[in-house]
Amino acid sequence: MPRLVLLDANALLMPFQFQVHLDAELRRVVGDVEIAVPTPVLAELDLLADHDRNARAAAKLAKNYRTIEGHGSADDALLDLARDRRAQRGCDAGKGISAHRSSPARLKPYHVETLKAIALLGGTKEYVNLSSGELGKLVGVSQQSASQRILELIREGLVARDLATRRQRIRLTPRGGEVLRKEYADYQRIFEIKETLTISGAVASGLREGAFYMRQKGYKDQFRKKLWFEPYEGTLNLKIAGPDLAKLQILQESPGIEIAGFDAAGRTFGGAKCFLATVGHVDCAVIMPIRTHHTDVLEVISKHYLRGSLGLKDGDIVELIVSL
């Protein structure tokens, strides 16, 4: 017997956002299915269609499927019908559909405003109960506009929505958190950052690769010339968390002191940039590889063995004053 699948607005938008064949992909993921669309989902798409070309196309596509009468918001109707008819929601089935996401659209100011509103409710750490109407009141827009904002943020991978409970629950994704950290870093530049930056982090053990790189003549010669010291063969690793992560963003976007890459012994050593700093009144420098993935660990070099000089052990909190 075919399994009933109820489509929400996100599922109906997928063919136009990701160029997938919705019917074929649902059958591949779920098996033999009967596809239906609740009437509140049709109403939601009609509202979005006024200013969204994809929503207009999705509303037209929805007419190809069976319509089921639902009550309340689209989310409430999906939950009630899925429970009463033991159906699978299209938003859940869609998790297995392979799609090529197009390049993210340029974020608009109201996207950041909406992320901020969700974050202030605790949405950076956990799902929060938040209906479209409640979000609309928080940001001063209609329920329909708030619903559209949520859909846009979901499409861009900035928020996640959970419909497993009676109420809509929303939280920021890691990517959504990065957007707010970038915004925070920009405001720090405007109001707080002058010639130095204070960053706190917890001492952490690394992979012990620092000693190998600190021994390379191509680096040591540049350190002596540009930093005025030859570093101890090793690095002090600080794990950064919370608001200080935004300060890492500032360092990543600041020029720093260039340490050029070079070739030696048949291999290539990448470039880096350094910032002079002090930790516990000991001179040191932050070193950041130019080409690296995003990390929450800051590497510190000094002519001294910092763990020994400062009596540090893993987990100790260290305050670093960095010159920009």
Domains of the chain: 3-96 (3.40.50.1010), 109-179 (1.10.10.10), 193-323 (2.40.30.30)
Report, as an integer, the average pLDDT of 185-198. Answer: 74
Q: How many residues does the chain have?
A: 324
> Under a CB-based contact definition with an 8 Å cutoff, are residues 35 and 66 in contact?
yes
User: Facing residues of 85 across strands?
Assistant: none
**Residues 223-247: pLDDT tens digits?**
999 998 889 988 999 999 988 888 8
pLDDT band, residue 99 (cuts 50/70/90): very low
- Does this model's pTM top 0.85? My answer is no
- Mean pLDDT for the chain? 83
34 is written with which tokens? 């009967």
Compare 255 and 47 and report the one with higher pLDDT: 255
User: Facing residues of 203 across strands?
Assistant: 238
In whole angstroms, what is the distance from residue 188 CA to residue 247 CA? 8
Which pLDDT score is estimated for 87?
52
Residue 52: φ, ψ to 5°: -140, 115
Nearest to 49 by CA among 38, 36, 61, 37: 61
% of the chain at pLDDT higher than 70: 88
In whole angstroms, what is the distance from residue 80 CA to residue 69 CA? 11
Which pLDDT score is estimated for 3?
83
Is the pLDDT at 151 greater than 90? The verdict is: no
Which pLDDT score is estimated for 95?
44
